[in-house]
Chains A and B, each alone.
Chain A
């Protein structure tokens, strides 16, 4: 028989540090780098690869030359400083040509215009990205496209103003009819009338206004655009236009109406089945055949339209994934409360579906932005191939290879990394389900 030995603790034990092997650097390394034989081998292998890469890249970077007027001069300086056979980066090219990477052949004395447009872009995007900002700022976002168009291409101020009037007409018609005819029909009528306005009234009205009140700045042609100016113009326009279009296509694909569904599916599958370059060639060559003779349809606008269509198809599929992830109960609850189709989509379904699709949508946007370099194939000066070819055509910089790509790549990385970080912040912010 066991007897119970009574025990009472009079003094509480103080907290002690864990033993050395359970804390600090040693513990971390044992956990993460050398937890087993396979892990140890992989760690050593990884270190070897890192060392090998560093031993090749570091000298090249350490031997950088910032001041020279040609590649030959660069090489001479490197030989002089570091001896025969030494290699080094020649950043002098970037120092001399950076403005072409940013602006292409945009007239130098007008650089303030794209600069201003770029700064204003953040003002315009801010209220969209950060919902805590005052909603009135969205009015600036609404006029920003017209303002930027005017700043970048110049010409009469009345052209963008009259074009914006088309949207005003669309909105007024929609408002007047939506109560009687429902969302799709009134939106359709609005779009048709606005299109007629742009096709027939745009030219005469803006000419008349310009004649009455002349207000214009120096015109810059599309072929003077290049570099990141071109990439950002195409990228930002296509991104902001493809999201609403993608939403409509995703809804169209899930629609009960046979014709709407067939058209949506057909469009999405066609676009996804065709390489972007094919579409760009279509933009540069074929569109010209379809348009009435004599109409001069700007090449950048054509490219933007096709890049937008391309991105919209992908985004539609991403959003469809988000829609599929929503439980049926959400639709039923919205229906049971008496919300109509568009209210349910806008207030209940889309906020949730878009939240689920954020990573996919941002991936599409990043892909789209990088794909803007493909416009090199239709003769536009993208920052990667277009400008680099021009730089290399200069006798002074003939043969330069890594530096232009690293420079352009670094800028792409900064922009894309920024988008990816924003999307992660947004996901955290919108996380309300507390799972």
Chain B
């Protein structure tokens, strides 16, 4: 990955705040999953969140579009505070795209219908226009020829690229990736990562939970390491990988980079 030429001209972090998380806590029953999380994401940032399983990293990004509810603290996304108000939640969700580990495409709809559904029903865009947008993004993820197939007919990598295109069709300001390559065969990981790199090159604000350290080194401007529901360490990638400060981070890095 590192040898790949990456165009950094548009990867600019602005002063504008995209996501503000302050003193956020979450419990599953008695279990304290997220403990006092504070995080500010600026527009144009590409953040990779890593950590051992069960460290709360997926839960953290799922709180940002309220697939999970937090119990205390504040989350402000693009100026809208996430509370129980359904209007706010729907507003945030239509501004924040999400890509899942298991793609979660709608198996009863074609690829094109998967991509046009939300623009038509949520954004109220005319069908023809939505289809044009969808084809644009399907070309971008390099599978326009699959538009009329069903998800079940595509490979895992193709499905994940469709899932990315489906999110992009909503023209989101922020993209969340929840282990987007963990369910893929090794040779398909690259095609998905390439798509994500392309997205980063265009200046998209991205939060990505992943174990692809190559991607982190190449694209991220910040790596966040989580353990036991808290942010243990964060730094820019070069420092994070070459000079980790906490013992926990060192142990984790030696585990995953050890061989």
Hey, which bits of chain A sit against chain B, CB under 8 A? 327, 329-330, 332-333, 335-340, 343, 347-348, 351-352, 355, 430, 432-435
Contact = CB atoms under 8 A, between A and B. Distances in A.
A433 B104 contact: no
Contact of B106 (A348, A355, A430, A435): A348
Nearest to B66: A335
Contacts of A338: 90-91, 93-94, 118, 122, 170
Contacts of B170: 337-338
Contacts of A330: 104, 106
B67 interface: yes
Nearest to B118: A337
Given A433-B152, A435-B152, A343 B93 contact: no
Contacts of A432: 107-108, 150, 152
B105 A333 contact: yes
B211 interface: no
A329 B67 CA distance: 11
Interface in B107-147: 107-108, 117-118, 121-122
Contacts of A335: 65, 67, 93
A340 B89 CA distance: 10
Contacts of A329: 100, 102-104
A384 B108 CA distance: 42
A351 B108 contact: yes
B172 to A, nearest CB: 10
A335 B66 CA distance: 9
Contacts of B245: none
A339 B120 CA distance: 10
14 contacts: A327-B104, A329-B100, A329-B102, A329-B103, A329-B104, A332-B104, A335-B65, A336-B100, A337-B166, A338-B122, A339-B118, A433-B107, A434-B150, A434-B153
Contact of B67 (A332, A339, A434): A332
Most chain A CB atoms below 10 A, which of B90, B97, B106, B122: B106
Nearest to B153: A434
Contacts of A351: 108
B107 A352 contact: yes
B102 A347 contact: no
Interface in B143-187: 150, 152-153, 166-167, 170
A332 B104 CA distance: 8
Given A339-B121, A435-B152, A333 B106 contact: yes
Most chain B CB atoms below 10 A, which of A330, A338, A430: A338
Most chain A CB atoms below 10 A, which of B67, B108, B118, B166: B108
Given A332-B67, A351-B108, A433-B107, A337 B117 contact: yes
For the complex of A and B, 8 pairs with smallest distance between CB atoms: A338-B94, A434-B152, A333-B104, A329-B104, A337-B118, A338-B93, A336-B98, A432-B150
A328 to B, nearest CB: 9
Contacts of A355: 108
A332 B103 CA distance: 11
A427 to B, nearest CB: 13
Contacts of B107: 352, 432-433
Given A338-B90, A338-B94, A338-B170, A333 B108 contact: no
A340 B88 CA distance: 12
Interface string B63-88: 00101000000000000000000100
Contacts of A343: 121-122
A301 to B, nearest CB: 37
Nearest to A336: B98
A320 to B, nearest CB: 19
A332 B99 CA distance: 10
A349 to B, nearest CB: 10
A191 B133 CA distance: 40
Contacts of A347: 117, 121
Given A333-B98, A338-B91, A351-B108, 12 more contacts: A332-B67, A335-B65, A336-B97, A336-B98, A337-B170, A338-B94, A339-B118, A339-B121, A343-B122, A352-B106, A434-B153, A435-B152
B108 A430 contact: yes
Contacts of A433: 107-108, 150, 152
A337 B152 CA distance: 20
A338 B117 CA distance: 11
A411 to B, nearest CB: 36
B89 to A, nearest CB: 9
A329 B150 CA distance: 17
B105 A339 contact: no
A351 to B, nearest CB: 5
